[in-house]
């Protein structure tokens, strides 16, 4: 059965999962890279918008294991509008999956679902939580899929009694989170990032990926100009 996304695009059958083992780390790293993310709060981007440094899959795997809630949406069949993984990466992934014990027990080829959307939350399991690594396959953005992920994250956190939920967003992501009920807090507070250096009069702002941050001179060298 096909499903209709919020934007009216007819998609093959999709499924949503809150199981961590439903997420293929290599696939997730490719999805994050396709959306200009690499799990760092301030990913450094090249002039063409591509990541200057790849996703660290070992750290990503560990982050998944220790996340409070993980939500993923999977799609059976080709991704409309184009795949975010390189053809060689996808072919290698499918070959690996075909060789799993589960596929061998079935005795036939299996159409494995592709990850098309993801989000996770970390928390203290009691009072506060924050949303991280929200991503939707580029060809399927603005179809209501990201909202499905975020709403499920909020529902799962609510079931745990957590109501103080925040999200650090880029300028481009801000309208999406605002439309989903996020806004400035009552204290109008500003997020600060530990930079391992004391502030001085020589500080100025610089761009880290798509965000702007006040940083000490010692950290200016991390910007990639090529």
Q: The CATH number of the domain where 12 resides is what? A: 3.40.630.30
Is the residue at 131 inside a domain?
Answer: yes
Q: Express each pLDDT in 34-84 by its tens digit.
A: 888 877 666 666 776 666 677 788 999 999 999 999 999 999 888 887 777
3-state secondary structure of 167: strand
Element (H, E) at 208: strand 204-208
Domain interval for residue 161: 3-187
**Is the pLDDT confidence value at 199 over 70?**
no
With CA atoms as reference, report the closest residue to 72 among 27, 130, 39: 27
- Are 91 and 28 within 8 A, CB to CB? no
Is the residue at 213 inside a domain?
Answer: no
What pTM did the predictor assign? 0.73
Is the residue at 198 inside a domain?
Answer: no
Residue 197 — very low, low, confident or very high, per pLDDT cuts 50/70/90? low
Q: Express each pLDDT in 91-119 by its tens digit.
A: 566 666 555 544 445 444 445 678 999 99
Is the residue at 164 inside a domain?
Answer: yes
Is the residue at 210 inside a domain?
Answer: no
| Residue 200, pLDDT score | 46
Cβ count near 36 (within 10 Å): 17
Query: 177-206: b or e for each residue (b if 16 or more CB lie within 10 Å)?
Result: beeeebeeeeeeeeeeeeeeeeeeeebeee
Is the residue at 199 inside a domain?
Answer: no
Is the residue at 201 inside a domain?
Answer: no
Query: Domain total for the chain?
Result: 1
Is the residue at 87 inside a domain?
Answer: yes
């Amino acid at each position: 059965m096909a499903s209709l996304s919020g934007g009216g695009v007819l998609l093959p059958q999709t499924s949503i999962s809150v199981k961590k083992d439903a997420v293929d780390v290599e696939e997730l790293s490719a999805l994050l890279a396709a959306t200009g993310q690499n799990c760092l709060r301030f990913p450094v981007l090249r002039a063409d918008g591509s990541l200057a440094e790849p996703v660290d899959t070992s750290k990503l795997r560990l982050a998944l294991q220790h996340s409070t809630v993980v939500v993923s949406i999977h799609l059976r069949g080709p991704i409309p509008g184009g795949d975010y993984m390189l053809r060689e990466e996808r072919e290698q992934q499918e070959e690996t999956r075909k060789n799993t014990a589960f596929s061998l027990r079935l005795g036939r080829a299996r159409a494995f679902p592709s990850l098309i959307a993801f989000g996770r939350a970390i928390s203290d399991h009691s009072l506060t939580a924050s949303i991280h690594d929200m991503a939707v396959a580029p060809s399927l953005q603005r179809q209501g899929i990201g909202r499905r992920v975020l709403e499920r994250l909020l529902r799962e956190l609510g079931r745990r009694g957590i109501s103080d939920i925040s999200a650090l967003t880029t300028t481009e992501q801000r309208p999406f989170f605002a439309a989903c009920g996020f806004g400035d807090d009552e204290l109008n507070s500003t997020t600060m990032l530990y930079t391992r250096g004391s502030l001085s009069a020589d500080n100025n702002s610089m761009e880290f990926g798509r965000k702007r941050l006040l940083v000490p001179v010692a950290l200016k060298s991390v910007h990639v100009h090529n």
